[in-house]
Amino acid sequence: MRMSKLYLPTLKEDPAEAEVTSHKLMLRAGLMRKHSSGIYSYLPLGYRIIKKIEKITRKHMDNSGAQEVLLPVMQTSEIWKDSKRWDKFGPLMIKFLDRKNREYCLGPTHEEVVTDLVRDEVRSYKDLPLNLYQIQTKVRDEIRPRFGVMRGREFIMKDAYSLDVDYQGLDKSYQAMYDAYERIFAECGLEAVAVEADTGAMGGKDSHEFMVLADSGEDEIAFCSHCDYAANVERATSDKVEIDFEVDSNFEKIHTPEIKTIDQLVEYLEVPAAKMIKAVALVADGEAVLALVSGEDELNEIKLINYLQANELRAAEEEEFEELFNSVPGFIGPVNLDEVRVVADKRLQNMSGAVVGANEIDYHFKDVKTGRDFEVEAFTDLRSVKEGENCSKCESGKLNIKDGIEVGHIFKLGTKYSENMGANYLDENGKAQPIVMGSYGIGITRLVAAAIEQNNDQYGIKWPKAIAPYQVIILPLGNDRLVQEKSEEIYQSLKDQGWEVLIDDRQERAGVKFNDSELIGIPLRLTIGSRSLENGVVEAMIRSTNEKLEIKLDNLEAKVK
Ligand code: ATP
Ligand code: MG
Ligand code: MG
Ligand code: MG
């Protein structure tokens, strides 16, 4: 490709809107431009990188036995109501009406579509296992889009869904995805670590996130100094709670196996979903409780529920929480989480007849009176496992906390979706059984940013070879005819060998060409100048190390590897 023809609008200065390195460099290197908050256009160089990552992803997904499909972006509300997530997704989901007043959303994820697809098609155990995947644009109206494509409102995801007859099958499918993910990230030249994750709003059992460690990461990961424990702090927190949480009480313990999800919880507490505002995780003297603040006309109801069963609620981000509070009309109240705590504290003291978690899965205590039975003064935010804290797994190591970017996430969903949506297969005895599912995502566009976070210096990007938009850039210096001819010759012959080559044939000063080539991060630069040609060499620079070397002209093709 000739740079004189390439649509590559580079910027000399860091754009003011960009806070983190990858965002700055993606704009400066002309990979993308902003359309609107969290929404970007990818320019030729940027799109080449995306396609490289997609190709590597496809290869390993196909090798794992998964099959590529393409599912609808526009999804009916019915399937989301079937799975009971229409309300749960809340404002993250873009919802709209078509001309016939039918409700739709733009897919933030595709569990519903896949479950809907197979509930009509998969009949017998003989049709399973299956793994269906796609690479497609997802839409999430993120509360705080930021860091460029790292947290976009529109982004490209590879998502896959495994369908098995039983949990053994699911374990296998999950492991196959885990292995494929390791290969994908490694081949992209990325160092990603798998950590235990919370299952959050997806529901389900086991879950791992693949994290690229970087200061700009929005997730915190706890690593044990002694054993192999590595977990998202959200998860590490619930591990910790399971250990510390102790309720010594002579209250009536009621069996509440029906409370597994936020919907069931809301139903149980007789708080209509529409009235529910949000929940916040709090801890009173080491005892975990969760306050659910509700109410439409009067914001005066606070219920306590079993913390351990309320993982889904715990996903509430502080900012989101504040915003929700602030958006409630007539609520004279908390503007930050500390104040929320104070309010929650007061309300708790005046409340009776609450239900409180019994620190035992499927049990709650009834008629607990806060203030009387509960100490509520010392609320601390439960969500933070602290640096240097003891590891909950080996109990001898200390936890180190690092920031990470979640580039991939795998979940064992189990039968939550198939049961809610009626996706069954007939087993060997002709009996209907729910399909056992898993769900697996990779943030393709986020991965571009993560790769830059891991590979850059003060001059720009250093692309790992496998995902670089071009592998070689040729810089002819000056207008010397011999330089031009030789550069063209090298350009052609490297292309003929199958390399992806850029030639900077622009009428620009040498300094501009050098700067741009370093900014856009092409792994190998060949500088062709008249003096070096006289000596029968070209100057090469390896961008990953900025190492410079001279290559003999007659040896060039063999050297470029
Ligand atoms: P996060 O915790 O960062 O909000 P998530 O857990 O909501 O991500 P998943 O539902 O697990 O995301 O989606 C699978 C993958 O899609 C994530 O691991 C991430 O790489 C990517 N992803 C999710 N949200 C975004 C976004 N807003 N912009 C870019 N990529 C995203
Ligand atoms: Mg999210
Ligand atoms: Mg996450
Ligand atoms: Mg996730």
Give 499-543 pLDDT, tens digit per residue: 999 999 999 999 999 999 999 999 999 999 999 899 999 999 999
pLDDT of 362:
57
Q: 407: Cβ below 6 Å to ligand 1?
A: yes
Looking at residue 423, its amino acid is A
| Mutation pick for ligand 1 pocket among 319, 409, 413, 440 (CB with most ligand atoms within 8 Å) | 409
Max CA pair span of the chain: 93
Q: 151: Cβ below 6 Å to ligand 1?
A: yes
pLDDT of 148:
94
Q: 158: Cβ below 6 Å to ligand 1?
A: no
Distance 347 CA to ligand 1 centre (A): 35
370 has pLDDT over 90: no
109 vs 140: CA distance, rounded Å: 9
pLDDT of 258:
64
Stretch among 160-169, 344-353, 430-439, 467-476 having the lowest mean pLDDT: 344-353
* Nearest of 309, 315, 266, 264 to residue 289 by alpha carbon: 309
pLDDT per residue as tens digits for the range 90-122: 788 999 999 999 999 999 999 999 999 999 899
Ligand nearest the Cα atom of residue 408: 1
Stretch among 1-15, 78-92, 232-246, 362-376 having the lowest mean pLDDT: 362-376
pLDDT of 78:
97
Q: Which atom of ligand 1 is nearest to the CA of 218?
A: 3
pLDDT of 461:
98
pLDDT of 269:
53
Q: What is the enclosing helix (H) or strand (E) of 51? A: helix 44-63
185 has pLDDT over 60: yes
Distance 197 CA to ligand 4 centre (A): 8
pLDDT of 88:
77
Peptide bond into 129 cis (omega under 30): yes
Dihedral of CA atoms 314, 319, 324, 329 in degrees, nearest 10, equals: 150
The structure tokens 């609808």 sit at: 72
| Residue 209: both structure tokens together | 């996130």
| Residue 489: both structure tokens together | 């010759």
pLDDT of 327:
42
Q: Which atom of ligand 1 is nearest to the CA of 407?
A: 20
The three-class DSSP label of residue 284 is strand
35 vs 23: CA distance, rounded Å: 14
356 has pLDDT over 70: no
341 has pLDDT over 80: no
Q: Which residues of 544-559 are buried (b: 16+ CB within 10 A; e: fewer)?
A: eeeeeeebebeebeee
Looking at residue 346, its amino acid is K
Please report which confidence band the pLDDT of residue 343 belongs to, taking 50, 70 and 90 as the band edges: very low
pLDDT of 264:
54
Average pLDDT over residues 61-77: 98
Dihedral of CA atoms 491, 496, 497, 500 in degrees, nearest 10, equals: 60
Name the average pLDDT for the chain: 80
Average pLDDT over residues 482-501: 95
Looking at residue 193, its amino acid is V
pLDDT of 170:
97
Average pLDDT over residues 227-242: 71
The structure tokens 């977990």 sit at: 231
195 vs 209: CA distance, rounded Å: 5
Average pLDDT over residues 133-151: 94
Distance 208 CA to ligand 4 centre (A): 9
| Bridge partners for 475 per DSSP | 527
Output the CA–CA distances (angstroms, integers) from residue 255 to 252, 269, 351, 479, in the order listed. Answer: 10, 14, 22, 84
Stretch among 93-97, 223-227, 268-272, 446-450 having the lowest mean pLDDT: 268-272
Ligand nearest the Cα atom of residue 185: 1
Looking at residue 459, its amino acid is Y
240 has pLDDT over 60: no
| Residue 62: both structure tokens together | 């196909």
365 vs 256: CA distance, rounded Å: 10
ipTM for the predicted complex = 0.99
Average pLDDT over residues 311-317: 37
Of residues 320 and 69, more confidence is placed in 69
Q: 525: Cβ below 6 Å to ligand 1?
A: no
Nearest CA to ligand 1 atom 18: 408
